């Protein structure tokens, strides 16, 4: 076994790998960019090495700096986690050339399965069924031959980046261009393939383990059908869809796929399955790394997958055969991401001011967070994972909903409350799911109104702050008593903004302490966690700001008759298609803002002229920052 392992990653997965290294008595080396100098994975490792500035291209994606860090610390092996360089064949080869063991599959297997086109051809030759499709350079022709709907996918990557579902082939060229841009930005390769879209499909994947001695086993399946924008958000094991016969057949197909490329280590073979006919399954791709959702497999098998990655990489054979694998109980995982459901799930950011992560009976949290963590727009938005286990699916779901209700991440908007509501949806509870369920039901899962008790709690916090300190002299005119000359006392009103601005007059009772506030309205008591303008409960959080109506009125007057286009999320402007004075049409694409590997197109709200343009390609922008102003034609004339 290795003495020292360098973890070439950050955040939640780096902390996860370090935990297993510690339990095995292996020294861990963390790497960090300037943005992560005080990050949790840096604190928990035995030693840590700075590898460069904040941009990933100059730090976590720098092969030279990673190898130098390994040499400086005496590491014998490198664990890549997932993302960044985990599925980069050139990095695996560079490790081998530097005398380091890459804790993952051989570089040739990574290259083969990383090319979705070659991967499909290889597994098809091994007898694994694949989805009908086509590839570059005849992509558009193949798409039209398949007929709508079709799915565009980058050949070089995964994780939903660059994927586009095209139902209207008149938009095909535009969607291809957009998919190429995102694929190039995410993977450095804009090659695409197209596949027939299967309506109401289910996404089921098989975990495999292979050693260097010819042994390959599968560890059952994971259901990953709950997705948003092709990104998994809830995963569970096992799937309620499969019977034992189908599970065995899919497992054997996954083993054959692994053998077809000379696989070694932990990997995942992903299948798309028609919900009406589970026996008709199709190979989609193979992820040649540890998956984000690996904990659910660990919980139902009792195996530590990171430990077995290490043992296989060190040359050990698997200690069990296929007949020894037992699936016991049920596990469900929820991905906590820095995104704001109320703003269309746009990426969010900020400083973690208050953090509470659930642990306990049947609950596990894998996280890279601490209080004080800065969540920016440079890296992936996933912050942590909450996983629940139970003897059956109903128990696991119930425990996970309760755990999400206990999750507190104030200072950064997350999707925890949304996920809790999703897990209570009747279709999820019954197991009648497909990959389009979330998009169909999303409006009912995101509350449109802010509960009154949120404003009541925010007002209570402000009232508490206005109270005089005990002892000493008090200015009677500063006491928030509501007293006024010649009239009955009038409770003070507060101008507050969450989604919309309003004037709120408290009408209940409240108890405020350092980290919580409890208010009673109409006989019902509501308790919130609080921190510096943030309130949270049941996984939801609200950032309540003070609102100055006079200042807001002046701002509106300054842009009277024109529409200001603001940044929907903190990020970087990557494309600017117009200049000041240009005429634009309603809906015309003007700019592209990118954050956390996600593109957002800023379009003209109406026809008019570009009156102001305050950004250029490469500009870093904050949420709600004005990007451009479009003057309507009437004003321009």
Mean pLDDT of the chain: 91
Classify residue 273: in a domain, yes or no: yes
Q: 155 near 186, Cβ under 8 Å?
A: no
Higher pLDDT, 539 or 567: 539
Q: Cα 581 to chain center, whole Å?
A: 38
pLDDT, tens digit, 9 for 90 and up, residues 392-406 = 999 999 999 999 999
pLDDT, tens digit, 9 for 90 and up, residues 55-109 = 999 999 999 999 999 999 999 999 999 999 999 999 999 999 999 999 999 999 9
pLDDT, tens digit, 9 for 90 and up, residues 346-389 = 889 999 999 999 998 999 999 999 999 999 888 889 999 999 99
Instruction: Give yes or no: residues 86 and 13 share one domain.
Output: yes
Q: How far apart are CA 28 and CA 9, in angstroms?
A: 12
- % of the chain residues with pLDDT over 90: 72
Q: Which two tokens stand for residue 235?
A: 């995963």
Structural domain for 62, as ranges: 4-103
Q: How far apart are CA 109 and CA 417, in angstroms?
A: 39
Closest listed residue to residue 337, CA positions, set 404, 395, 287, 385: 385
Q: Is the pLDDT of residue 559 over 80?
A: no
Residue 567 has what pLDDT? 83
Residue 22 has what pLDDT? 98
Q: How far apart are CA 77 and CA 70, in angstroms?
A: 8
Classify residue 122: in a domain, yes or no: no
Residue with tokens 């402000």: 462
Residue with tokens 């996954």: 254
> What is the mean predicted confidence (pLDDT) over 313-322?
98
> What is the mean predicted confidence (pLDDT) over 435-448?
94
β-bridge partners, 189: none
Tell which of 502, 520, 546 closes a domain: 546
Instruction: Give yes or no: residues 192 and 223 share one domain.
Output: no
Tell which of 103, 123, 150 closes a domain: 103
For residue 552, name the pLDDT band (cuts at 50, 70, 90).
low
Backbone torsion region of residue 90, taken as left when φ is above 0, otherwise alpha when ψ lies between -120 and 50, otherwise beta:
alpha
Q: Cα 16 to chain center, whole Å?
A: 17
pLDDT, tens digit, 9 for 90 and up, residues 141-190 = 999 999 999 999 998 877 677 889 999 999 999 999 999 998 998 888 89
- Give ∠ CA 499-502-504 in degrees, rounded to 5: 120
Classify residue 619: in a domain, yes or no: yes
- What CATH number does residue 610 fall under? 2.40.50.100
Q: End-to-end CA distance of the chain, in Å?
A: 76
Residue 551 has what pLDDT? 67
Q: Cα 374 to chain center, whole Å?
A: 16
Residue 637 has what pLDDT? 42
- Give ∠ CA 422-424-427 in degrees, rounded to 5: 80
Q: How many CB atoms lie within 10 A of CB 36?
A: 27
Q: Convert 439-476 to b/e letters by CB count within 10 Å (16 or more is b).
A: eebeeebbeeebeebbbbbbbbbbbeeeeeeeeeeeee
Instruction: Give yes or no: residues 501 and 440 share one domain.
Output: no
pLDDT, tens digit, 9 for 90 and up, residues 212-242 = 999 999 999 999 999 998 899 999 999 999 9
pTM for this one?
A: 0.85
Q: How far apart are CA 334 and CA 355, in angstroms?
A: 17
To the nearest 10 degrees (0 to 180), the angle between helices 89-97 and 107-114 is 170
Instruction: Give yes or no: residues 440 and 456 share one domain.
Output: no
Q: 385 near 295, Cβ under 8 Å?
A: yes
Closest listed residue to residue 542, CA positions, set 634, 425, 436, 459: 459
Classify residue 125: in a domain, yes or no: no
> What is the mean predicted confidence (pLDDT) over 196-206?
91
3-state secondary structure 463-497: HHHHCCCCCCCCCHHHCCCCCECCECCCCCCEEEE
Q: How far apart are CA 13 and CA 306, in angstroms?
A: 10
Q: Is the pLDDT of residue 623 over 80?
A: no
Phi, psi of 389 (to 5 degrees): -125, 145
Q: Is the pLDDT of residue 596 over 90?
A: no
Of 188-202, 309-323, 332-346, least confident by mean pLDDT is 188-202
pLDDT, tens digit, 9 for 90 and up, residues 448-461 = 899 999 999 999 99
Residue 301 has what pLDDT? 98
Instruction: Give yes or no: residues 427 and 360 share one domain.
Output: yes
Q: How far apart are CA 2 and CA 266, in angstroms?
A: 18
Of 123-137, 424-438, 545-559, 561-575, least confident by mean pLDDT is 545-559
- What CATH number does residue 139 fall under? 3.30.1490.20
Backbone torsion region of residue 199, taken as left when φ is above 0, otherwise alpha when ψ lies between -120 and 50, otherwise beta:
beta
Total domain count for the chain? 5
Instruction: Give yes or no: residues 278 and 158 share one domain.
Output: no
Q: How far apart are CA 343 and CA 305, in angstroms?
A: 37
Q: Is the pLDDT of residue 569 over 80?
A: no
Q: Which two tokens stand for residue 511?
A: 């108890």
- 107 sits in which H/E element: helix 107-114
- Classify the C-alpha dihedral 369-234-389-280 as positive or negative: negative
- What CATH number does residue 58 fall under? 3.40.50.20
For residue 557, name the pLDDT band (cuts at 50, 70, 90).
low
- 335 sits in which H/E element: strand 330-337
> What is the mean predicted confidence (pLDDT) over 17-29?
98
Instruction: Give yes or no: residues 536 and 601 share one domain.
Output: no
Q: How far apart are CA 428 and CA 60, in angstroms?
A: 37
Q: How far apart are CA 338 and CA 573, in angstroms?
A: 19
To the nearest 10 degrees (0 to 180), the angle between helices 139-146 and 172-187 is 130
Closest listed residue to residue 123, CA positions, set 269, 246, 224: 269
Instruction: Give yes or no: residues 55 and 143 share one domain.
Output: no
Classify residue 238: in a domain, yes or no: no
Q: Which two tokens stand for residue 382?
A: 């996933």
Instruction: Give yes or no: residues 419 and 345 share one domain.
Output: yes
For residue 635, name the pLDDT band (cuts at 50, 70, 90).
very low
The greatest distance separating any two alpha carbons of the chain, rounded to the nearest whole angstrom, comes to 92
Q: How far apart are CA 322 and CA 508, in angstroms?
A: 62
Instruction: Give yes or no: residues 537 and 576 share one domain.
Output: no
For residue 535, name the pLDDT band (cuts at 50, 70, 90).
very high
Tell which of 389, 411, 445 closes a domain: 445
β-bridge partners, 365: 386
In 80-124, beta strands by DSSP E: 101-102
Classify residue 111: in a domain, yes or no: no
Q: Is the pLDDT of residue 110 over 50?
A: yes
What length does the chain have?
637
Q: 578 near 631, Cβ under 8 Å?
A: no
Q: How many CA atoms lie within 13 A of 430 on its CB side?
A: 7
- What CATH number does residue 297 fall under? 3.30.470.20
Instruction: Give residues with Cβ within 8 angstroms of 391, minimum separation 6.
Output: 329, 330
Classify residue 150: in a domain, yes or no: yes
Distances (CA, A) of 391 to 266, 270, 327, 385, 408: 26, 26, 11, 20, 27
Q: How far apart are CA 613 and CA 626, in angstroms?
A: 9
- 73 sits in which H/E element: helix 63-73
pLDDT, tens digit, 9 for 90 and up, residues 343-357 = 889 889 999 999 999
The conformation of residue 360, written as its DSSP 8-state character, comes to B
Bridging pattern class, strands 598-603 and 589-595: antiparallel
Instruction: Give yes or no: residues 504 and 538 share one domain.
Output: yes
Instruction: Give yes or no: residues 154 and 216 share one domain.
Output: no
For residue 633, name the pLDDT band (cuts at 50, 70, 90).
confident
Classify residue 145: in a domain, yes or no: yes
């Amino acid at each position: 076994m290795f003495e020292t392992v360098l973890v070439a990653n950050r955040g939640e997965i780096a902390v996860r790998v370090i935990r297993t290294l510690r339990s095995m008595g292996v020294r861990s080396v963390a790497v960090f960019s300037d943005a992560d100098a005080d990050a949790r994975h840096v604190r928990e490792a035995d030693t840590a090495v700075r590898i460069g500035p904040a941009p990933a291209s100059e730090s976590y994606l720098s092969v030279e700096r990673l190898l130098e860090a390994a040499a400086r610390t005496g590491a014998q092996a490198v664990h890549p986690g997932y993302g960044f360089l985990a599925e980069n064949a050139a990095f695996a080869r560079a490790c081998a050339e530097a005398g380091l063991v890459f804790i993952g599959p051989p570089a040739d297997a990574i290259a083969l399965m990383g090319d979705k086109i070659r991967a499909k051809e290889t597994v098809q030759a091994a007898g694994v069924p694949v989805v009908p499709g086509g590839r570059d350079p005849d992509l558009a022709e193949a798409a039209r031959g398949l007929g709508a709907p079709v799915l565009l996918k980058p050949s070089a990557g995964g994780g939903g980046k660059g994927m586009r579902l095209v139902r209207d082939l008149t938009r095909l060229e535009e969607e291809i261009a957009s998919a190429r841009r995102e694929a190039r930005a995410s993977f450095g390769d804009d090659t695409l393939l197209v596949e027939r879209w299967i309506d109401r499909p289910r996404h089921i994947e098989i975990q495999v383990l292979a050693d260097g001695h010819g042994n390959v086993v599968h560890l059952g399946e994971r259901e990953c059908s709950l997705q948003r924008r092709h990104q998994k958000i809830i995963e569970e094991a096992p799937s309620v869809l499969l019977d034992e016969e189908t599970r065995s057949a899919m497992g054997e197909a996954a083993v054959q796929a692994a053998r077809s490329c000379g696989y070694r280590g932990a990997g995942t073979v992903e299948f798309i399955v028609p919900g009406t006919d589970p026996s008709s399954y199709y190979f989609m791709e193979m992820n040649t790394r540890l998956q984000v959702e690996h904990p659910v497999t660990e919980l139902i098998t009792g195996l530590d997958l990171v430990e077995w990655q290490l043992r296989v990489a060190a040359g050990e054979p698997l200690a069990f055969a296929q007949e020894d694998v037992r699936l016991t109980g049920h596990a469900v995982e929820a991905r906590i991401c820095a995104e704001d459901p109320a703003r269309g799930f746009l990426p969010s950011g900020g400083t973690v001011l208050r953090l509470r992560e659930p642990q306990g009976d049947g609950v596990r949290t894998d996280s890279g967070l601490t209080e004080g963590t800065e969540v920016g727009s440079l890296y992936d938005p996933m912050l942590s994972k909450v996983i629940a286990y139970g003897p059956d699916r109903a128990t696991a779901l119930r425990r996970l909903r309760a755990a999400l209700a206990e999750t507190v991440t104030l200072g950064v908007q997350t999707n925890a409350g949304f996920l809790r509501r999703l897990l209570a949806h009747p279709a999820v509870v019954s197991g009648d799911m497909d990959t389009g369920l979330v998009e169909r039901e999303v409006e009912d899962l995101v509350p449109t109104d802010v509960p009154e008790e949120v404003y009541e709690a925010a007002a209570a916090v402000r009232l508490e702050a206005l109270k005089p300190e005990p002892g000493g002299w008090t200015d009677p005119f500063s006491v928030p008593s509501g007293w006024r000359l010649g009239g009955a006392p009038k409770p003070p009103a507060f101008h507050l903004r969450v989604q919309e601005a309003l004037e709120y007059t408290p009408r209940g009772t409240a108890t405020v302490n350092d980290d919580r506030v409890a208010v009673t309205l109409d006989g019902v008591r509501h308790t919130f966690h609080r921190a510096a303008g943030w309130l949270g409960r049941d996984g939801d959080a609200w950032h309540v700001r003070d609102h100055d109506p006079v200042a807001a009125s002046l701002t509106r007057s300054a842009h009277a008759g024109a529409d200001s286009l603001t940044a929907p999320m903190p990020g970087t402007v990557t494309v600017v298609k117009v200049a000041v004075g240009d005429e634009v049409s309603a809906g015309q694409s003007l700019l592209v803002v990118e954050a956390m590997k996600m593109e957002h197109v800023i379009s003209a709200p109406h026809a008019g002229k570009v009156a102001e343009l305050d950004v250029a390609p490469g500009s870093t922008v904050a949420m709600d920052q004005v990007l451009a102003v479009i003057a309507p034609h009437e004003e321009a004339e």
